[in-house]
Amino acid sequence: MTEVNYDTGNIFAKILRGEIPSHRVYEDKAVVAFMDVMPQGLGHTLVVPKAPSRNLLDANPSTFGPLFAVVQKVAQAVKRAFDADGVTIMQFNEPASGQTVYHLHVHVIPRFDGIPLKPHTGAMEKPEVLARNAEKIRAALAA
């Protein structure tokens, strides 16, 4: 698979390198999960493989097993952490689809009956709220 068009300066690459902060909830040798700073709902979490690819289209297929194992783990944890009714999983490829950060990632968003998603890349959440939500998810992952 190709890494053509992968920009090592993208914001998630910087987060993965620890150059900018994030509210991490999970990390293993292949995958990291952290809070989305512009959440579309309570507990919106991003699951990100460490391997560089722009999105799903250019990713090495070997990325997906470890990535989706963590997507499931985080989905189960956020559902428990926030007592959610369901969980939406989203993943965008290229600008036409809504992608805005060009390092493969999967959105994990707890859902509550009757509550619509907020806009994609809408308002920034307060750091203290993200920190509190991250703590709840870490606790659910550890339980």
**Residues carrying an active site annotation:** 105
Report helix angle 64-81 to 127-142, nearest 10. 100
Nearer to ligand 5GP, 107 or 143 (CB): 107
The dihedral formed by the CA atoms of 71, 76, 77 and 81, expressed in degrees to the nearest 10: 140
From the CB of 77, what's the least distance to ligand 5GP, in Å? 17
Q: Which residues bind ligand 5GP (CB under 6 A)?
A: 11, 22, 34-38, 92, 98-101, 121
Nearer to ligand 5GP, 30 or 38 (CB): 38
Cα of 41 vs its chain's centroid, Å: 13
Nearer to ligand 5GP, 34 or 82 (CB): 34
Give the whole-angstrom CA distance, residue 92 versus residue 74. 18
From the CB of 23, what's the least distance to ligand 5GP, in Å? 7
